Structure 1
């Protein structure tokens, strides 16, 4: 019986072995490389990527909280029938105070006030149009359309790494979402206040407030979970809270574990093969 040529770790070479053959030496080499790659990836993630992954999860969670203020405001005005003017004035004063502290030079303040006046007059003009928009459309269609617009808005705004300035697309989606929901409101004043509150909470204030601040997320969480407790009850509120804690604490750890142990495994397998040495004449 003729002894076969020993198997070589060369992908480009035709050998006397079946395609599904796995040599023991190759398995040992693969296991050794896996351990070394895991240790190297672990050191790399421990230095920079771990904190960035956690920050990305928290940023997305904060984006969902900010988006939920749209429906909290809508519920406050539409379902409970409360006056929309007091919260609008209160939020506008907070926005004005924060903007005066963050914006220096007189010229910048003047341009800021000028832009605010232009937006205000534009909203006053569009409020009657938004109020009458889709008035004949069934409420179920409005809720369905607003749901998909909300998902689109969250996807676009969370895909932007820098939260300092939202993209034009996210702003347009926000206006479209508010316009759709505004068709259910009864008065022009409610439409104007609803639009102004949503713009301040999702566009103006995030541009002034730091994403790493601890006070703003704390206030947002208190408002959102208090609203859930009042509208849905403490059981559902507690369930949503536990899901949020799971998302913020547990999921980042799972994602880091997956990134260390399973990410780019195919490229590591290809790197195990010896490259062919070029022959130069």
Structure 2
């Protein structure tokens, strides 16, 4: 009560962040405590430059692999490379890679998967037999399609292979199976423009080695032998640049600049742009129900 019996000011009702009570405030009202729960950049990852360079090597080497495959196909198309030599070289490289795959972790990976060498040999023989038997069909599969259309399809498929390749992103963002399938489809399209069935067989087997077997070996090297992984990536990139140089000096320079940009410049830009990241979190975020399920599993 105020002076001379007059009523005083009405009591101040504190604001509550609830919806089940009637309060004398507008629906969009918040008090000064609302921003006390503001948090910035809670889940920001801080990268190190050389770690990012190490991870970006997978992108650079995959670009180089696509370039090497196209170069080998171009050599056969121009008659500069015999399919016999490509088949023999591919078998030798596959054998060396197979031995290296086991030696990297001393066979522990084979023990975990439970797959024997006899099973690997049978799978290889079956694949080679079927591919060789169907090579005449692969040669004539797209003969009715114009050459420009075939080249356009092959280019789009190789681009899709690069986009959806599993560089280490979450599985819901990439698809390794789709990436491999479109690469094989591109090899079939290109093989149909070569002189004979043996050329088609050499092209498809080369695609399997480049796009399926080589990434498997590279992942094993990355997990168990980081120094070997770096050496393999550098060797593939240099081979791609050297092969492109035999065709076009300008193309080799552009490819080298592209690989350097992917491996050195893009990681630097990523780290620089991290300074400008500004994610805010607070009471306005969507609620997440976190329930401990361990008690139900006991």
Same fold by TM-score, threshold 0.5 exceeded?
yes
Aligned to 2:71: 72
Out of 249, 256, 269, the residue aligned to residue 241 of structure 1 is: 256
Deviations for 1:49-72, whole angstroms, at most 9, x for unmatched residues? 656543442221221111222201
TM score, norm. by length of structure 1? 0.72
Aligned to 2:82: 83
Out of 260, 267, 274, the residue aligned to residue 252 of structure 1 is: 267
For the pair shown, the structure with the greater C-alpha radius of gyration is: 2
Deviations for 1:184-220, whole angstroms, at most 9, x for unmatched residues? 0111111111111121122113212324412212221
Conserved 8 A contact 2:57-2:233:
no
Aligned to 2:127: 119
Q: Measure the CA separation in 2 of the matches of 1:243 and 1:94.
A: 27
Conserved 8 A contact 2:166-2:176:
no
1:181-196 to 2 correspondence within 5 Å? Answer: 181-196=190-205
In structure 1, runs of 5+ residues without a counterpart are 1-9, 16-28, 274-281
Conserved 8 A contact 1:69-1:198:
no
Distance 1:102 1:121, change over 3 A: same
Out of 236, 241, 251, the residue aligned to residue 225 of structure 1 is: 241
1:178 deviates by 0.9
Aligned to 1:201: 210
Aligned to 1:157: 165
Distance 1:167 1:80, change over 3 A: same
* Paired residues, number: 239
Deviations for 1:78-127, whole angstroms, at most 9, x for unmatched residues? 02442121132122112113313434479611111111011101101221
TM score, norm. by length of structure 2? 0.68
Which is richer in helix?
1
3-state SS, counterpart of residue 214 of structure 1:
helix
In structure 2, runs of 5+ residues without a counterpart are 1-16, 18-26, 285-298
Structural RMSD (CA): 3.5
Q: Measure the CA separation in 2 of the matches of 1:100 and 1:241.
A: 31
Conserved 8 A contact 2:131-2:201:
yes
Q: Measure the CA separation in 1 of the matches of 2:101 and 2:244.
A: 32
Deviations for 1:220-245, whole angstroms, at most 9, x for unmatched residues? 12221112111112x44223312321
Aligned to 2:94: 95
Distance 1:255 1:135, change over 3 A: same
Aligned to 1:5: none
Q: Measure the CA separation in 1 of the matches of 2:96 and 2:116.
A: 15
